[in-house]
Structure 1
């Protein structure tokens, strides 16, 4: 009702409509602030009138157009105790003798009641500001939590896709991954297929496309090749943690090592661990690492480093498996003889390279079954 009036914060409305001064009323009028209209003020019988310049240094001062009188905003709202009810001049009756208005303003500004009212007013404003900031912070936090949950749901689906491709030994990327490509690779194509049936993925893809059209640049999509690599690395860490926990429980283990070169002619060594867990013999691929030299001494350093990196004790090793190359199986300077000098219990068991490579491929393909 007050909001429909010309001056909703005019004190005259409170008197005319007999409005009770409640906390909600104080909050409403605090939002409005003092009634300080700039209008053609009427003259009194002495030919004097209210001056708008009096507002400038007196933020608490207000003028009622209906009563043609000035009041103290803080006193009328915040001094409602019994001991202040007799002080009605600045609260309800108003000051309208303009000849002595400046003197009255100065006297009131130095009075105890004025100071108490101002302190309460500023305190109420501070409290209202704290509530507003807290509400805003809650809204911001709620939006952040919602966005975090949305991204978590997206990541869950991307992890499922990554696990599927890893278990099936399928390549992730395609030769051409642009939006106009007919085949963008297994990972992106599976994401697109998920988007047809999954509302979470569909919304994510739609948001990415919309932002790209507006900003004309690539957006954080969680679909880049870097994200794919990060997902694979994160899952590999998780898988390795499970494998190492099983090895530590079984206490003893054997190692299977094979050396080969990739298409860039970089020498690489595959590291596989064989152990017994829950009465089952398991062979688990741990890592492939590059080597600068394939001599027995160089390979020994790499294997010791690999064991230390994975917190495996060479004293717990009970077997070694290599191909017939001299640098691996040599009885004097081969890798197997060097490791046996450190642990005589690490017996050597020759195996054919072809059989072991098949086992390594099988181990890699089934690596992600632990997640």
Structure 2
């Protein structure tokens, strides 16, 4: 395709006859933005006229300067509204978006009536906002990022809690006390639970990251929010039953 043909194809994208054949909603985003950039097509020699008795009324192209939304079809010899042609008219305003307006005698009053109609005002607003960053999409995107971050944090917390519980279960299985005599940072006897937990952290980057980042709930604090209760009983048949209750206490 030659450059001249490409240029002609782009230049006529905003013409009425082209937009009637290729509806705005069927165009690509790039094409829609180009139509908006070009604006309404204002042909200088459109030949719109109306005979009234011996008088002939001809359309004055100065209307294009007065009403920027006004445009004309060379083939139909009729006037159209640019925003309504793009986004569609409703009710009596369909004339300005589909068939075209030709009654020059009442042109002034019909123009005034049309540009104050709800349909025109709505379409003009749509055209003005088209191509702008969609605030709703931004809000939805930020909201979704918040949800994703929350879900990621929940999954991370569940993983860490699961590893801590495994350490507690190991201490219970071995019937060893979780607490040590001295759980300070430089203690030589911090307790079996803390030793197991810190050993597990050495081979688990996610758990180590939690251990290094959390100043309060590491799983080794003397003020644990996790409590493990076990109770055993033997029935008349000499069968032992043990109940284990794991409690997570909110501060």
User: 1 or 2, which has the higher helix percentage?
Assistant: 1
| Greater Cα radius of gyration, structure 1 or 2 | 1
What's the TM-score, normalizing by structure 1? Answer: 0.35
What's the TM-score, normalizing by structure 2? Answer: 0.49
